[in-house]
Structure 1
């Protein structure tokens, strides 16, 4: 152990020495053909965006820069946030170990804030690179002192705004603790922290929307709206209820977190205008972090409706709202309810719901010819479905979560796998649920009670949520943008659609007569239908392996064995005393313990780009490709998304699709949302999609991205790629 410790210490001491020796080679070797450091790495700057310093290095041929050797320091009155850098080329350096390097060019984006009275943007930029062919040398670390003019609006904080320094953030923001959500992360550039867009609901009514990442908020009373270049027109905002906050500078204020949707009425004569220029000035903060200077965004709104205008500035062409989601607010409530009803019906056919349907199929058959029994089955199952959809809708609306996002939690996945296993063991005859101590020999019709029907409906909704059926996309998009009451009605319609087949069996005698008569064959059928449940548990174990690795599967298997033991002893303890029942509880606790340990396992790596020719999604890489005029096919997927896997099998994992990518020069970019990813979540929110899958094709010309349906066909994708490759 002493020799190992000595070896690690020696390695730490030798790395700086090796860098110095490498730098010394500049003077020891023939340097006639080497470029000066500022010509090998030409640095240019862009300060046009208030609050963001953009740097660009043009790297000469046969030279490269180290990602990890870049350092940035602000001058007097300048506070820098964390620099945003793209991923570099990974390789092993004999002196530095595992490193990332850049060739040809690289861009960096650094958010900054300024103290009052500061008029210049002064920043020290340090970097280091090497010449990779003979003579192979490394330059010493080089520092450039930047002294740049500040853009308009960023020279100082807005009057009365909190001091723009991270060090005073706690006192500025009302005594937030160091564990506040926003304090743990570096502040985002203003364009990313506060995404602003607008559309016309009616010719005299607008909807303005601010979308913020978790931990950011917007001041209500620091927001000013006015119509540009038109006299006599006034914009009247209808402010929704916000969150009350004690602010040390502004006193008691109202703020908005996550997303603000602001209806605005237009008073005045528009004189037949079809377009209105709107300017919004606003201010917001990172909760527990810094506050941004006053921001001003201008948008042109199409008063005919259906067109979303954005006031944000991004690096490269910004993905615009696709036609499929631009009209989400213009869809009528009745049409959205009809689509939701159809989507709920189709959910009955999805593979993720079929195992649960097998439970209800047996239950309905067991009810025999008794109409009252069928109606109880149907009503209790429907009650469970509707209650679950309403609860799910409230969670999604309040937390702004996407459809199926609970499957990103490994504990949820593990619990569902164990539930599937327990139900399958019950259907196989290992254990009987719903029977009392002295009712072991009861008839099949008495084995399932109303409570069992209710929770079967709950389970159906839980396992259905990873699926995005046809017709559901538009309905859910409407629900996310509509008022709360309308949104909940959409979720109720989804529940009615899912439960409708069982309601028909329970209340329509003609449908009920189609069911076979009960008999001895039902026990065999029940045991046969247990196997889809076992397969569902296997599928969930596979999802868990992709989320947390093989250790998670090991813990799940331990929990499964303990659960099987618990159910076995539960069945044996029916006619025994209290001690046997206590032992059942002990075994159940032991079965739960491995599931609890899953939360402590690290998340698995992103597997989206493991296939050849697939690029992992990052906003920076997408912006880089679009800036270069490259068509891009963006695929947002997840391992627990059944529709995603079906599309991959039929369209995206085929030789024909790969040939089309090559023919059109399109880059296939894939985002893996199996685990939580803030960048993918922001992309989904930008397109107002209810969840994965999401497919967007960005054209070569740099125009708006085209969103494809959730269910793909080969001809549809071929047409989209061909259109994206055209130059306009």
Structure 2
């Protein structure tokens, strides 16, 4: 009995909690909401943790955006065992005002909820956290804590008091407003600064609004006007620094009222225009307009240019056709675009609901998707070269075209009557458009992916409608295509040329695959595709059953291509593209250090599969005055390569309300929160941002 009592006295009070480490101003520890990493069907692929801090009376630490002064806590997990990564969440902050200086953070006690992703689910976690934080009272003192925590293997039972503590502070992390009953109706600029109109299910008591990513704009303490039984407020944040143009700039707004809070991304129309806000109908209509224009502009982006060959052939193939057939073909292409955007919207919703990273064009980070695209464009090219045809059965074609098969419109062969071919053309245009970002598109996609399923569906539908507008225009006025020359032998030459452009698209996709997996894998896939084309060419000359065998061999070659990335993959650190020696690898923590030292930091978030990024690089960033400034003294050019999935970069983009690339932002003493640049860079825009940040 004595031995049992001694053992019990030495057991920790909570299931899985690390020891406290204490300084003169703060003490901290790591805690877990579970006693083990799970076993059997209850094995955890996500382990809920918390960074528990207690400040001494009169001391405070800072939020992710500290305000006019301060630094947010930084955590490094180097040396941890069985840890693949972590997701760090921020409870809603408090405002501290001292001598007109506005800072945001926490005093007393705070727990930062953390989700740990074990490298091997069900195995023990051996966590080592190196925590750097700034703690301030009348003076500010940097503090360093080395914290440890071991979560053993075993049942994932609740750890009692620690689990409740993590859950309590997790409830303070701002959500989309559904649970808290909060909503932001509009955001607009006024002569005084920024005005935010908000509503609440229950009356407001002590509301506050925090603004992030406002291109260096500085706002003072807010004033609040109450209305409608305190269920509606207008928060005015006065400008306290040099005026900064906010037109079209996405910013993150955090609305806090006691224990309830809301976080949303909004875009301000300077000059009093109503911006988008959570649940705001005028704002949603404006964003849908942005999405429509962005989708239309995608037709002019370099990502979509390779599929121009299919569009051109489709138009030429309608020459001399009956208006009814022309309208059916172009409506089928538009339907392919809209259907594909709905599939993308569904995938985005599914990823968002599962907590995965979501963004515009992230499917190009997946090697299997790249192989699929290579096989697809190879098939389209082979079809244009006349190596194979997949005609619709006559009955289906008659039903699709309403039984109308006029004499002249068959001159282009079965291709011109295949609605499936036109539908596939629209789908391919959508897939090739996703690695590009156009003006207005980034704002629309950022709004959608920061919202719920309905907003995602609405915005993606508007994007698809914009991309499909040229097709719908010809469908509405079929005489535009009917006046073209009738199809003839000259089209055979055109088809060969346009097939060559799609083959070049396949080569570009292979170069991206070479970066993500390995050059050997890309060469092997390319060799298989060349063999596939050769087999189809030989098959065309074979009789009967031999032709069927040739088709089967081509299908086997296409399927074999999907196994090569897995067979020839290499470690991610080896597969990452080599960064130009003039660029510094992305390090978010280093940005503030460089700015504090008086330097300007230019961040370029890019990827090898992003054609717009490559165009910005070739036309602006690596030439002329911009290159001289970027790679001169006093400026740190920092590159974040998103070619392969990277949680650090995904989180960084989301913090700025961006879910697609390119994304460029400039930090400096004059703009510590950054000056975001448009998707399409110009020399004047880059130089102006560098000057403002300096």
Please tell me the TM-score bracket, short chain as reference. Answer: 0.5 to 0.7
1:461 Cα deviation from its structure 2 partner: 0.9
Distance in 2, Cα, partners of 1:394 & 1:259 = 25
The residue that corresponds to 2:377 in the other structure is 420
1:262: which partner in 2? 177
Query: Is the alpha carbon distance of 1:308 and 1:277 closer, same or farther for their aligned partners in structure 2, counting shifts above 3 Å?
Result: closer
Residues 535-582 of structure 1 deviation map (CA, whole Å, 9 limit, x = unaligned):
111211221222223212221123213321442355345x513x6424
Corresponding residue of 1:713: 682
For 2:317 and 2:328, the matched residues in 1 are separated by: 13
Q: Choose from 166, 176, 182 the match for 2:42.
A: 176
Deviation by residue 1:473-519 (Cα, 9 ceiling, x = unmatched):
11112212333223211111111111121222122144335534433
Quick check: 1:590 aligned with 2:575?
no
Give yes or no for the alignment of 1:345 onto 2:302. Answer: no
Counterpart among 411, 414, 418 of residue 446 in structure 1: 414
Give the 3 Å change call, closer, same or farther, for CA 261–321 of structure 1 in structure 2. Answer: closer
When residues 550 and 259 of structure 1 are mapped into structure 2, their CA distance, relative to the original with a 3 A threshold, is: farther
1:370 pairs, out of 322, 327, 340, with 322
- Counterpart of 2:386 in structure 1 is 429
Q: Summarize the Cα distance change of 1:196–1:534 in structure 2 as closer, same or farther, 3 Å threshold.
A: farther
Residue 151 of structure 1 aligns with which residue? 26
Write the distance in 2 (CA, Å) between the matches of 1:502 and 1:480: 27
SS of 1:634's equivalent in the other structure is strand
Distance 1:267 1:541, change over 3 A: closer
CA contact (8 A) 2:525 2:564 kept: no
Inter-partner Cα distance in structure 2 for 1:631 and 1:531: 45
1:193 aligns with 2:88: yes
Shift of 1:310: 6.6
Q: Pairwise mapping of residues 656-671 of structure 1 onto structure 2 (< 5 A)?
A: 656-661=625-630, 665-671=634-640
Which residue of the other structure, out of 516, 536, 539, is the alignment partner of 1:567? 536
Superposition misfits of 4+ residues, deviation over 6 angstroms: 76-79, 181-184, 210-214, 250-256, 299-302, 320-326
Distance 1:114 1:335, change over 3 A: same
Corresponding position of 2:339 = 387
Aligned length: 508
Provide closer, same or farther for how the CA distance between residues 375 and 673 of structure 1 changes in structure 2, counting only shifts above 3 A: same
Instruction: Report if the CA contact (8 A) 1:616-1:671 is conserved.
Output: yes
> Secondary structure of 1:406's partner?
helix
Listed as ranges, the matches of 1:682-697 within 5 Å are 682-697=651-666
Gap regions ≥5 residues in structure 2: 1-9, 49-79, 95-111, 119-154, 183-199, 212-220, 225-234, 238-249, 257-263, 353-357, 398-409
- Pair 1:361–1:710, CA change in 2 (3 A): same
Q: Is the 8 A contact 2:602 2:638 kept in 1?
A: yes
CA distance in 2, matches of 1:269, 1:593: 62
Deviation at 1:637, TM superposition (A): 0.2
Unaligned runs of at least 5 residues, structure 1? 1-75, 80-112, 122-146, 200-209, 217-244, 279-298, 313-319
**Alignment partner, residue 503 of structure 1:** 472
CA distance in 2, matches of 1:722, 1:646: 23
Q: CA RMSD in A?
A: 4.4
Deviations 1:16-64 (A, max 9, x none): xxxxxxxxxxxxxxxxxxxxxxxxxxxxxxxxxxxxxxxxxxxxxxxxx
**Per-residue deviation, residues 187-243 of structure 1 (Å, max 9, x unmatched):** 878xx51145699xxxxxxxxxx9977859xxxxxxxxxxxxxxxxxxxxxxxxxxx
Structure 1 residue 78, shift from structure 2 partner: 9.8
Alignment-derived partner of residue 612 in structure 1: 581
Are the aligned partners of 1:301 and 1:307 in contact in 2 as well (CA < 8 Å)? no
Q: CA deviation at 1:587?
A: 3.9
Q: TM-score, normalised by structure 1?
A: 0.61
Q: Structure 1 residues 656, 632: closer, same or farther in 2, change over 3 A?
A: same
- Report which stretch shifted further, 531-540 or 413-422: 413-422
Please give the residue correspondences for 1:297-308 in structure 2 after superposition, counting only pairs within 5 Å: 303-304=235-236, 308=252
Residues 235-294 of structure 1: per-residue CA shift (max 9 Å, x gap):
xxxxxxxxxx996467999999x99423433467769x884699xxxxxxxxxxxxxxxx
Q: Give how far 1:372 is off.
A: 1.5
Note the 1:124-139 alignment, pairs <5 A.
none
Indicate how the Cα distance of structure 1 residues 323 and 701 shifts in structure 2: closer, same or farther if over 3 A, else same.
farther
The CA deviation string for residues 416-470 of structure 1, in whole angstroms up to 9 with x for no partner, is 1222222222222333342779x9xx74243241122222221111111101112
Give the number of the structure whose alpha-carbon radius of gyration is greater.
1
Distance 1:426 1:247, change over 3 A: same
3-state SS of 1:675 partner: coil
Aligned to 1:24: none
Contact 1:343 1:494 survives alignment (8 Å): yes
Matched position secondary structure for 1:667: strand
CA contact under 8 A between 2:209 and 2:254: conserved in structure 1?
no
Residue of structure 2 equivalent to 1:551: 520
Provide the rounded CA distance (Å) in 2 between the counterparts of 1:155 and 1:212: 13
Q: Indicate conservation of the 8 Å contact 1:322/1:706, yes or no.
A: no
Moved more, 542-551 or 599-608: 599-608
Displacement of 1:391? 1.0
Q: CA deviation at 1:631?
A: 1.6
Partner of 1:333: 284
TM-score under structure 2 length normalisation: 0.64
Alignment counterpart, residue 544 of structure 2, candidates 543, 559, 576: 576
1:339 and 1:471 in contact (8 A); partners too: yes
CA distance in 2: counterparts of 1:651 and 1:78, whole angstroms: 59
Q: Report if aligned partners of 1:466, 1:640 keep a CA contact under 8 Å in 2.
A: yes
CA 1:621/1:609 → structure 2, altered by over 3 Å: closer, same or farther?
farther
Kindly indicate whether residue 363 of structure 2 is the aligned counterpart of residue 406 of structure 1. Answer: yes
Residue 652 to residue 197, structure 1, CA distance change in 2 (3 Å): farther
Distance apart, 1:680 and its partner CA:
0.9
